[in-house]
Structure 1
Amino acid sequence: MSNNTFMLWMLYSPLHWIISGMTMVINFTGRKTGKSYRLPVDYRRVGDTLLTTSYKPRTWWRNLRGGAEVTLRLQGKDVKGHAEVIEGEQGVMEGIQAYIERDPSTARLFGIRLGVDGMPDPESLRQAASTRVIVRTTLT
């Protein structure tokens, strides 16, 4: 069983609560193929907005460029949202910073050093942003 298959099984099962606080399923339609995709992704919630990161070389997020309606499996429930991709360095830096503010332990996963004040080191934040995009989903 692949990691994605296992994660999907978990997120749709009664055991979802074990991982659904930071992992959700995003369902979207491929722009070129029209095929339906279902992908487990990590997220951090900021109000009615969900932030997800992806490395630029991955391709799934490209289907969301220009905005797209999505269905999420979020904490055991199916909800609708509108997803947008943020690719510009400043926007990605702001998204990563919001991610870290919600969960400071993720700084290490991004390779970002935190100062004694808990704020991300600007250079390591810039470096992390140069390799990633942010997918921002607003619940509808």
Structure 2
Amino acid sequence: MNLLIRALLRTPGLSRLVGGRLVTLYVFGRKSKRRYAIPVVYLVQGDDLLIGTSSAWMHNPRTGEPVAIRLKGKLRQADIHISTQDTDVVSAYACMARANPTFAKFNKIRTDEDGEPDRHDLRLAWLSGARAIRLTPR
């Protein structure tokens, strides 16, 4: 599935349609030194892209090290900031859950009838290893 999504994100025209919520993040494995292309859901916040994940790949990039991204079909550099603190991650996940019900469902975050995420579920996501990543495209 990732292979298909990465191809769509590289295709002119289609990348604008598919890339409205997806960005490809290119990271290098710390041990393997292999380059990985990871499509991830993002939320726009001002000039930044906000990403939430608990996947193992998040251990490869480091705050302050630039990363390559493909945003709406264009390859760019971005500065990265990774948040691991409880309050930062819970706040970021709350924003993402409000804006994207699929993100909330995938991360097992219940929302009430007004779309407000459950605080206990947000904290459980953090306890399960969730991290918030802020990308600032150059």
* TM superposition score category, shorter chain reference: 0.7 to 0.9
**Aligned counterparts of 1:139 and 1:44: Cα–Cα separation in 2:** 13
Equivalent of 2:81, from 81, 84, 93?
A: 84
**Aligned counterparts of 1:90 and 1:42: Cα–Cα separation in 2:** 21
**Residues 1:94 and 2:91 aligned together:** yes
**Residues 1:74 and 2:71 aligned together:** yes
- Corresponding residue for residue 43 of structure 1: 42
Which letter does structure 2 place at the counterpart of 1:9?
A
Shift of 1:117: 4.1
Which letter does structure 1 place at the counterpart of 2:111?
L
- Corresponding residue for residue 110 of structure 1: 107
- Corresponding residue for residue 118 of structure 2: 121
- Corresponding residue for residue 29 of structure 2: 30
Shift of 1:27: 1.5
Q: Report sequence identity in percent.
A: 29
**Aligned counterparts of 2:17 and 2:137: Cα–Cα separation in 1:** 22
Deviations 1:17-73 (A, max 9, x none): 332111111113334444332221111111111111222xx3211111333201111
Counterpart secondary structure, 1:64: coil
Equivalent of 1:10, from 8, 12, 15?
A: 8
Which letter does structure 1 place at the counterpart of 2:132?
I
TM-score under structure 1 normalisation? 0.83
TM-score under structure 2 normalisation? 0.84
Counterpart secondary structure, 1:39: strand
Shift of 1:16: 1.7
Shift of 1:105: 4.8
- Corresponding residue for residue 52 of structure 1: 51
Residues 35 and 109 (structure 1), Cα distance of their counterparts in 2 relative to 1, 3 Å cut:
closer
Q: Gaps spanning 5+ residues in structure 1: where?
A: none
Worse overlay, 44-53 or 108-117: 108-117
Number of residue pairs the alignment of both structures matches = 136
Deviations 1:116-140 (A, max 9, x none): 4432221122112222112211122
